[in-house]
Amino acid sequence: MKIFIGALVGSIIIFVCQVLSWTILDLHRPAQQYTPKQDSILSYLSTQFDSSGGYLMPTLPKGASMSESNTLMEKSKGKPWVQLQYHTSLDANMSANMVKNLVTNFIMVLFFCWIISGYTVNNFGKTFLASIFTGLIVFLHGAYTTHIWYVTFDLGAHFADYIISWGITGIWLGWWLNRTKV
């Protein structure tokens, strides 16, 4: 029960940090910039794609040779490129997305609690540091690795998201999981 409650509260902490980061604090704005040309761009794109999908331009069709790939890479150096996630329809079901996010956070923190519950000797500091390291691992594997290949504009925001949310969760779990019953 202790792990379950720890994971439940920890998942809510991470969720609140995510909500603040993406809304009130608007930390991810650099990756979601506004252009006054959005209506004409969207109108044009809707004539170019038949279905939703992710596109990288320039690129080659599947099955292209390494020689063709190298030629395209050389030809494209120093020129514009785009990574585009095109959706034929906006599904803004925020309630469902929030529930999915909370469930995902719960599973993630539950796994973390299960791992640290196996420590033979645990204390507040170990739990807190393990939580910070988990945030760093998540950042390095996810946002930073993506940034290496496809430069993103909100890398600092992702770093803050993971370190702060896992740090606060580590403070909570460090206290909750290591407290002695009175």
pLDDT tens per residue across span 59-114: 999 999 999 999 999 999 999 999 999 999 988 888 999 999 999 999 999 999 99
Q: Any idea what the Cα angle at residue 76 is, between residues 73 and 80, rounded to 5°?
A: 135
Q: Which of 99, 86, 9 is nearest to 45 (CA)?
A: 86
Is 67 inside any structural domain? no
- pTM of the entire structure? 0.86
Residue 102 backbone phi and psi in degrees, to 5: -60, -40
Is 81 inside any structural domain? no
Is 75 inside any structural domain? no
Is 78 inside any structural domain? no
List the domain range (segments joined by +) for residue 162.
2-38+93-176
Is 71 inside any structural domain? no
pLDDT tens per residue across span 31-45: 999 999 999 999 999
| Domain count along the chain | 1
Question: Sign of torsion, CA 34 37 39 40?
Answer: negative
pLDDT tens per residue across span 125-177: 999 999 999 999 999 999 999 999 988 999 999 999 999 999 999 999 999 99
pLDDT tens per residue across span 7-17: 999 999 999 99
Is 70 inside any structural domain? no
Residue in this structure with the two tokens 């044009």, named with its chain if needed? 44
